[in-house]
Amino acid sequence: MHFVRPIFFLPYVYNKSIWRKEKKKNNIYLTFDDGPIPELTPWVLDILKERNIKATFFCVGENIVKHPEIFERIKNEGHAVGNHTHNHLKGWATSDEAYFQNVQACQELTQTDLFRPPYGRATRSQLRHLAKTHRIIMWDVLTGDYDSTISPDQVYRNAVDYVRNGSIIVFHDNIKAKENLQYALPKSLDELLARGFRFDLF
């Protein structure tokens, strides 16, 4: 089962993390996980450029190494970057020492104070340690674009039906999400702009 909003107790368990921003302002925060990849990230950047929207890309270090020119384009076009580990590690299945080394390898490439754990999962000790140096960004709206059992239109509905002031929205620039993303992203952005939401950076 796909949960668009975080399960109610997670923000209390992971209280070092940011799940939603200012509730009184109509600013929202668009994020993309897992890139950069040539099959999708340049297309995403084109869509954002057409609408003058800035987003935050939580990048995987090994993808930056493979595609440095796309990573540079992300930064040159005014978007923010975040650390998403070097090898898309699952924190629960990785020792603290190995996890921190992997985060550091990505950090040397990204030079950012933003971090999001892959799968939204890391141990409390891992997040406590990383919170000393990074703002840990979770989400308020998980579109489910990576899930092949969810239709493109449902991803669109997830993106627009659950957004509220201060929402942090997660899409993915990875191959698994391609079909859903290419359908849902343009429609979602146009709908949210029409509703008067302002896209902001952290």
Active site residue 172: yes
Out of 33, 34, 173, 200, pick the active-site residue.
33
* First and final C-alpha spacing in the chain: 29
Out of 67, 84, 88, 172, pick the active-site residue.
172
In Å, how far are 8, 31, 56, 83, 146 from 133, measured between CA atoms? 26, 20, 18, 12, 29
Active site residue 129: no
Please answer whether residues 120 and 5 qualify as being in contact, where contact means their C-beta atoms are separated by less than 8 angstroms: no
CA Rg value for the chain: 16
- The secondary structure of residue 87, as a DSSP letter, is S
User: What is the rounded CA–CA span in Å between residue 31 and residue 55?
Assistant: 6
Q: What single-letter amino acid sits at 169?
A: I
What are the residue numbers of the active site? 33, 172
